Amino acid sequence: GNIMAYQKSKYNVILNGEISTAAFEALLDNPDKSLTIDEIINAKSFVLNGISNQKMAKILNDLVAKGMVEKGEIRNRKITYKAVGRAI
């Protein structure tokens, strides 16, 4: 069953790449405000539809760790996120 596990993780890497790209684009589309996870998912619902907030938070934290995204203010007890810098 190892090959299946490998396939699945490979698929997840591709999927995560698409998710983080879509999330980052949502943030770039709104350079003047920070967005909650719900707002990010709604902004790119075509790609992000059905993604859990937990998974989205994990991916956003990866982007924060890479220095591409920063956490913004807390709004309605929810963390908001903002793209760092500008798209060229």
Geometric angle at alpha carbon 18, from 74 and 21, rounded to 5°: 50
Q: What is the pLDDT of residue 48?
A: 93
Q: What is the pLDDT of residue 70?
A: 95
First CA to last CA distance, the chain: 44
Task: Tell me the mean pLDDT per 10 residues along the chain, length 88.
Answer: 63 83 95 94 93 95 95 94 75
Contacts of 60 (CB under 8 A, 6+ apart): 23, 37, 40, 69, 81
Q: What is the pLDDT of residue 71?
A: 96
Q: What is the pLDDT of residue 40?
A: 97
Using CA atoms, how far apart are residues 32 and 58, in angstroms rounded to an integer? 23
